[in-house]
Amino acid sequence: MTNQTKYETHEHDVLIIGAGGAGLRAAIEGLAAGARVAVVSKSLLGKAHTVMAEGGIAAAMANVDKADSWRTHFRDTMRGGKLMNNWRMAQLHAQEAPERVRELEQWGALFDRTSDGDILQRAFGGHTFKRLCHVGDRTGLEMIRTLQDRGVQMGFDVFMECTIIRLLTDGKRVVGAFGYWREQGRFVVLKAKAVVMATGGIGKAWRVTSNSWEYTGDGMALAYDAGAELLDMEFVQFHPTGMVWPPGVQGILVTEAVRGEGGILRNKEGQRFMEKYDPKRMELSTRDVVARSIYTEVREGRGSEHGGAYLDISHKPAEYVKQKLPSMYHQFKELADVDITKGPMEVGPTCHYMMGGIKVEAETAASSLPGLFAAGEAAAGLHGANRLGGNSLSDLLVFGRRAGLGAAAYASKAPAASIDDAQIAEAERDMLAPFDRGEGENPYTVHRDLQEVMQNLVGIFRVEEDMTKAMGELEKLKARAARVRVEGSRLFNPGWHLSKDLKSMLTVSEAVTRSAMARKESRGAHSRIDFPKLDEQVWGRQHNLITRDGAGMKLQQIPVDAIPGELNELLADEK
């Protein structure tokens, strides 16, 4: 059926799209289960977002606070997510995270230690106990290097700097993917019996973001195009502390570990303003609360010089700060001329993390589309309406592993795939079209305008009127994106790559906006000026679900699963 000679073609049992923590952990598990595994990534191996994670991995190991247990971790996660979480995922996550961290250690990771020789844990927002296993402020680097080396030794095939632009289906199930090598611009067909989507988030659709060029929502858009369901797309996390000055670094993350280690937030009047918003937890309140507090201070005229808040850790001994937060120390020193051991940093909210995404089953990470699995930031469910810091890295390990297992099990039973040439031909045509246009806009211009729309109209505070306007703007942007022109050749051409990434960003932006308009309440990271309260009766009981309906996007609501009695009791237990 396939025109084998025309495209470079590879065949595997399990194809993993994404080489961050989730993808690599899935690959390791797939290999351990005996599957032939391929991993694809847009960047070089080891450069995925996971490498940037700073603060730590949340796991109830109880090395520092002996009273911690999976039950408390479960409760914190559910409360942080305002009960929009998939309770079963939250349970599995809390129960399995400690074992997944120990496993990393057994594969060679070196975490900071307690005086007893165990893994040291630090405090983080929303976590009742000191729970984040860490390596200074470069935990993600330790994690990705450990997983990468393990996977390479076990023997997966790596396709790096290769971008997937379409999932291939046989009408009923996913049978592979189609992509291009960034280097040469040649196309490649990757046949597989099962595919794991581990492509991460969507932050590049906003102007101020901690995310890299890779975070264009490809995985969610490709899954959606192929027929999978997207869940709770309105829940986009704005991290309270991104850099605000100088302009070139705006949005770059300032890890929550600064607050975990005792950092204090003040406004320009020197007031410790978190006293007003959350007197109990102060700076270690959940991210949604802290982000809104900073935003409100700035809007009401009490912001810092460049429109943020002051975050100060200089009351701690300089040596301690340099040891615990080395990369923050260097980041501010080198990029902002600020010595954080001597004075405050300026910080403000930055688009950081996507709680919503591909809807998956808790146990196997299977999506609604047969043969397609999803894990990590690309998947939805665990974090509900707001993610707690540190719960992403643990999510990658717990559900990366489960996705690898699920996909390998599915692949072992799936018959060989046959590829539909028409799908490939269509994807190829769309991809090459921007070269053929005699005139058209530069994709960078359209991208910049999209970022303005999402930043200004679907940001941290939302209102019906803005979002209606955003929907209109998105339609115009879609039309413009369909007419962009790229110059140059197919050899490593970032403008060309962006022309496709732009489409993914537009799909997820529309899904976010539609879902955000529908949810007429404020919950977790989703704050409506026109509906400032929680609405437990209606919206506390339903999720938003997005699916493709022909060329259009369909939005519907599905009920929130009831939490079983004993787990429910954990949540009621007010401590």
Partner 1 sequence: MADAILEVFRGNQEVGAAKQYTVPIAPGMVVLDALHYIQAHLEPDLAVRWNCKAGKCGSCSAEVNGKPRLTCKTRMDALPTDKPITVYPMKSFPVIKDLVTDVSWNYRVNKKIPPFSPKPKTDWKMYQEDMDRVQEFRKCIECFLCQNVCHVVRDHHKKEEFGGPRFFVRVASLEMHPLDNVSRVKLLKDELGIGYCNITKCCTEVCPEEIHITDNAIIPLKERVVDEYYDPIMKLVRKIRGAPKPD
Ligand X SMILES: Cc1cc2nc3c(=O)[nH]c(=O)nc-3n(C[C@H](O)[C@H](O)[C@H](O)COP(=O)(O)OP(=O)(O)OC[C@H]3O[C@@H](n4cnc5c(N)ncnc54)[C@H](O)[C@@H]3O)c2cc1C
Task: List residues binding ligand X (CB under 6 A).
Answer: 17-23, 40-43, 48-50, 52-56, 139-140, 163-164, 198-200, 210-211, 214, 218-219, 253, 353, 376-378, 389-393, 396
Binding mask 299-328 for partner 1 (x = CB under 8 A): ----------------------------x-
Distance CA(227)–CA(237), nearest Å, equals 25
Q: Whose Cβ is closer to partner 1: residue 381's or residue 443's?
A: 443
The verdict on 333 binding partner 1 (CB under 8 A) reads: no
Residue 44 interacts, among partner 1, ligand X, none and using kind-specific CB cut-offs from 5 to 8 Å, with partner 1
Which of 25, 75, 239, 528 does the annotation list as catalytic?
239
Residues 83-112 that bind partner 1 (CB under 8 A): 102, 105-108, 110, 112
What is the smallest separation between the CB atom of 47 and partner 1, expressed in angstroms?
5
**Residues near 9 by Cβ (< 8 Å), separated by ≥ 6?**
2, 188, 189, 190, 191
What is the smallest separation between the CB atom of 283 and ligand X, expressed in angstroms?
16
Q: For the residues of 357-414, what is the DSSP string, one character each?
A: EE---TTT-B-SSTTEEE-GGGB-SSSTTSPPTTHHHHHHHHHHHHHHHHHHHHHHHS
DSSP alpha helices (H): ranges in 312-370? 318-324, 326-336
Which of 131, 134, 166, 259 does the annotation list as catalytic?
259
What is the smallest separation between the CB atom of 492 and partner 1, expressed in angstroms?
4
Binding mask 217-256 for partner 1 (x = CB under 8 A): ----------------------------xxxxx--xx---
Of the residues 95, 412, 442, 455, which one makes contact with partner 1 according to CB under 8 A:
442
Structure tokens at 318: 């300089």
**383 counts as catalytic:** no
Between the two ends of the chain, the Cα-to-Cα distance in Å is: 63
Buried b or exposed e, range 455-485, using 16+ CB within 10 angstroms: bebbbbbbeeebbebbbebbeebbebbbebb
The verdict on 472 binding partner 1 (CB under 8 A) reads: no
Residues 496-515 that bind partner 1 (CB under 8 A): 496, 498
Residue 242 interacts, among ligand X, partner 1, none and using kind-specific CB cut-offs from 5 to 8 Å, with none
Angle between helices 21-32 and 139-154 (to 10 degrees): 30
Angle, CA 499 vertex, CA 496 and CA 501 arms, to 5°: 110
Distance CA(571)–CA(574), nearest Å, equals 7
Give the DSSP H or E segment for 39: strand 37-41
Is-contact 237 354, C-beta < 8 A? yes
Distance CA(447)–CA(547), nearest Å, equals 24
Is-contact 508 202, C-beta < 8 A? yes
Residue 315 interacts, among partner 1, ligand X, none and using kind-specific CB cut-offs from 5 to 8 Å, with none
Residue 26 interacts, among ligand X, partner 1, none and using kind-specific CB cut-offs from 5 to 8 Å, with none
Residue 486 interacts, among ligand X, partner 1, none and using kind-specific CB cut-offs from 5 to 8 Å, with partner 1
Angle between helices 443-457 and 494-518 (to 10 degrees): 20
Interface region with partner 1, contact rule CB under 8 A, candidates 149-157, 170-178, 451-459, 466-474: 149-157
Buried b or exposed e, range 228-244, using 16+ CB within 10 angstroms: bbbbbbbbbbbbbbbbb
3-state secondary structure of 203: helix
Of the residues 262, 370, 495, 540, which one makes contact with partner 1 according to CB under 8 A:
495
Handedness of CA 533, 300, 210, 182 (dihedral sign): positive
Q: Whose Cβ is closer to ligand X: residue 142's or residue 312's?
A: 142
The verdict on 455 binding partner 1 (CB under 8 A) reads: no
Q: Which residue has the tokens 């339903």?
A: 542
Nearest residue relative to ligand X (C-beta): 20
Of the residues 79, 492, 534, 535, which one makes contact with partner 1 according to CB under 8 A:
492
The verdict on 79 binding partner 1 (CB under 8 A) reads: no
Question: What Cα–Cα distance (Å) separates residue 206 from each residue in 87, 384, 387, 456?
Answer: 30, 21, 19, 9
Interface region with partner 1, contact rule CB under 8 A, candidates 20-28, 90-98, 116-124, 519-527: 116-124
Distance CA(230)–CA(419), nearest Å, equals 25
Query: Considering CB under 8 A, how many residues would be counted as binding partner 1?
Result: 66
What is the smallest separation between the CB atom of 480 and ligand X, expressed in angstroms?
21
What is the smallest separation between the CB atom of 5 and partner 1, expressed in angstroms?
26
Interface region with partner 1, contact rule CB under 8 A, candidates 44-52, 196-204, 411-419, 422-430: 44-52
Distance CA(353)–CA(285), nearest Å, equals 17
Active site residues: 239, 259
Q: Point out which residues bind partner 1 (CB under 8 A).
A: 43-49, 51-52, 102, 105-108, 110, 112-113, 115-118, 135-136, 138, 141-142, 145, 149-150, 152-153, 158, 183, 212-214, 245-249, 252-253, 327, 330-331, 334-337, 442-445, 448, 486-489, 491-496, 498
